[in-house]
Structure 1
Amino acid sequence: MGKIDPADVGRPLTVGEVARRSGLAVSALHFYESKGLIRSVRSMGGQRRYGRDVLRRVAIIKVAQRIGIPLAAISAALASLPEERTPTKADWSRLSRLWRAELDDRIAQLTRLRDQLDDCIGCGCLSIDACKLRNPLDQLSEHGSGPQRL
């Protein structure tokens, strides 16, 4: 690694610099910006410039996506953070607590699904009428076969 020029510390980053430092494609950064997850300003020449806080925000987005958090939830979480400030460890702790509950729910759902799958293989029916995996939550089946909403 090269030396850091003190004059560069407060300088906004180009989209290429953010892409290189975050490991994301430029198109992904443009997509995140179009969804309001990150923000840029335009230079005199019309080019995007990002504050350095965007690197931490992009890291949060990447981690959240990796664990399966929907973009809408990520957007809401990022909106709760102060603008123009790099998210802190305390910010991350608060966000991760929110997402931990969602992950716990998803783990419980997957565990139930796994357990039902074992039962389904055991019965061998795979019936569209009776199988909770093949036809989950089919409440209209109680009213008979065929279309029930006309």
Structure 2
Amino acid sequence: MSSSPDDFILKPLEFYEMPDGLWYPHSRRMWSDGGQEDQSDRNHYAGLLILEMMSSVKRDARHLFRKSGMDRLGAYQKGIYVSTSARGFHRSRIDEGFPMHARQDWRAAFAAWRSDHANEVTEIERILADAQANYGKMAALLADQSPAEFKRPDG
């Protein structure tokens, strides 16, 4: 069996719940110059925020596609264009022993950390908000709607 040399996550890994209801593996360790190193809290939370944004985009796009008349398979297929390559898992598919962080829990930990480090993530959050809006516009175009008509299901 072969795979991309970039498709791996260093141990120890933990699972984090995202807006699409799936749990995504994430590690505080990274590969760097042939060795492992710990991520900063800033990079750890930036990674989680990116996963959260992409998971939300996927959920919203699929909802939009279904609402525009696509069947489930069609919505899944078009959703690939606005989805992350990270693989999310249903909670029942994750072996016992892995640390699991419900979305409300990791968001609360992030909010506590952010209260003392807002200057480290404000620009990241702004860029992610802009990216999410642009992905929403792309999803609207894929659903054959005007991007101006795009309305998020929760907004």
TM-score by length of 1: 0.30
Answer with 1 or 2: which has the greater Rg.
1
TM-score by length of 2: 0.30
- The structure whose RCO (Cα within 8 Å, separation 6+) is larger is 2
- Which has the larger strand fraction? 2
